[in-house]
Amino acid sequence: MKPDALLYPTPKGLFCEVGQFYVDPVQPVDRALITHGHADHARSGHGHVLATRETLDIMRIRYGEDFCNSEQVAALGEKLVINGATVSFHPAGHVLGSAQIAVEAQGTRIVVSGDYKRRRDPTCLPFEPVACDVFITEATFGLPVFHHPDDRLEVAKVLTSLRQFPERAHLVGAYALGKAQRVIALLREAGHEAPIYIHGALVKLCDYYQSQGYDLGDLRPATLVGHDRQVFAGAIVIGPPSAFADKWARRFPDPVSIFASGWMLVRQRAKQRGVELPMIISDHCDWPELTRTILEIAPGQVWVTHGREEALVRWCELQGIAARPLHLVGYDDEGE
Ligand SMILES: [Zn+2]
């Protein structure tokens, strides 16, 4: 079967005609397969949702019990037949529960990687390469200039600042799903045992990670009720980036503004956000990881979903691998 008959882009998202399902649809559909819990991939209002147990749990936490009509757990590595297509889920290394989805029919296999990374992440399973005819990849950091440093160095920068400025609160902006928990786990690995204060928007997801066996240590609410302002002096406080724009951030003593994002390697972006201490930690592949992954999987074709498609498409062609951009709309990893 021709790959572009097995899976093709539509305004609602990638559609598998043989299986009559969409992968990460951006509008409500009857049958959706979801790669991971980030809001641009996992939306509410679908009829039937197939995803890993963790992704279903995360959707429930974010959208409530009625996030879809019916749900089904996809166990990693297990093959499921949907109409005429066979699908299986494999770890993507992006956030807890994240999976690549392999779609197969009549001898053709396409792997939709969703979002993924190759770095070690103490809060999720590592990416697993799956042989395929077509590998669908994102290209958020798909330019040769994008190299992310070792995240342990980035964590060490924060701990050094904490020692230098023990009177200042260290305010870390990090996305509520994945990034926040990874930053906390990395701080713990680096020996930071003190309580970490978290914004209310992170509580349920951090609790969920802890319930799944990911030890995040002593987490406390970053509310001032019943607290002396000075509690936060020399403490690490983590909140979603959106909280930094409002009054919430102004209640901490002389805060050091930190932002954990792959985009922090672009100095201009850090400056625009008023970030004093950029923490370059990404849940996406940088350029060397993207290209190494493609060489390792050695697919017949590469389709690029979102990000900087052109450079990656060109690079594939130079390697003798057919490639094209998919021009999918509705995915946004600007914030990653
Ligand atoms: Zn994502």
pLDDT tens-digit readout, 23-57 = 999 999 999 999 999 999 999 999 999 999 999 99
Question: How much is the pLDDT for 304?
Answer: 96
Domain with CATH 3.40.50.12650 in the chain: 151-279
| Rounded average pLDDT over 206-235 | 89
Please tell me the distance between residue 36's alpha carbon and the centre of ligand 1 in angstroms.
7
Question: How much is the pLDDT for 333?
Answer: 63
Question: How much is the pLDDT for 225?
Answer: 65
Please tell me the distance between residue 234's alpha carbon and the centre of ligand 1 in angstroms.
31
Question: How much is the pLDDT for 238?
Answer: 97
Please tell me the distance between residue 131's alpha carbon and the centre of ligand 1 in angstroms.
22
Please tell me the distance between residue 107's alpha carbon and the centre of ligand 1 in angstroms.
29
Residue 334 pLDDT > 70, yes or no?
A: no
Please tell me the distance between residue 260's alpha carbon and the centre of ligand 1 in angstroms.
15
Lowest mean pLDDT across 165-169, 247-251, 270-274: 247-251
| Rounded average pLDDT over 101-124 | 97
Question: How much is the pLDDT for 227?
Answer: 64
Residue 167 pLDDT > 80, yes or no?
A: yes
Please tell me the distance between residue 113's alpha carbon and the centre of ligand 1 in angstroms.
11
CATH number of 151-279: 3.40.50.12650
Residue 335 pLDDT > 60, yes or no?
A: no
Residue 194 pLDDT > 60, yes or no?
A: yes
Question: How much is the pLDDT for 243?
Answer: 87
Question: How much is the pLDDT for 253?
Answer: 84
Question: How much is the pLDDT for 99?
Answer: 98
Question: pTM for the whole thing?
Answer: 0.95
Please tell me the distance between residue 335's alpha carbon and the centre of ligand 1 in angstroms.
10
Question: How much is the pLDDT for 22?
Answer: 98
Domain with CATH 3.60.15.10 in the chain: 3-145+284-325
The yes/no answer on whether domain 3-145+284-325 falls in CATH 3.60.15.10 is yes
Cα distance between residue 301 and residue 139, in whole Å: 15
Quickly state the pLDDT bin for 231 (edges 50, 70, 90): confident
Q: Which residues surround ligand 1, an ion (CB under 5 A)?
A: 38, 115
Please tell me the distance between residue 181's alpha carbon and the centre of ligand 1 in angstroms.
14
Write out the two tokens for 133: 């005819």
Question: How much is the pLDDT for 331?
Answer: 79
Stronger pLDDT, 227 or 251, i.e. the higher one: 251
Question: How much is the pLDDT for 336?
Answer: 61
| Rounded average pLDDT over 238-251 | 83
Please tell me the distance between residue 183's alpha carbon and the centre of ligand 1 in angstroms.
16
Please tell me the distance between residue 91's alpha carbon and the centre of ligand 1 in angstroms.
13
Residue 143 pLDDT > 60, yes or no?
A: yes
Question: How much is the pLDDT for 278?
Answer: 95
Please tell me the distance between residue 285's alpha carbon and the centre of ligand 1 in angstroms.
11
| Rounded average pLDDT over 92-119 | 97
Cα distance between residue 207 and residue 41, in whole Å: 22
Cα distance between residue 291 and residue 302, in whole Å: 11
Lowest mean pLDDT across 108-112, 142-146, 178-182, 246-250: 246-250
> Which residues make Cβ contacts (< 8 Å) with residue 24, sequence separation at least 6?
13, 14, 32, 33, 34, 35, 41, 42, 112, 114, 331
| Rounded average pLDDT over 106-111 | 98
Quickly state the pLDDT bin for 224 (edges 50, 70, 90): low
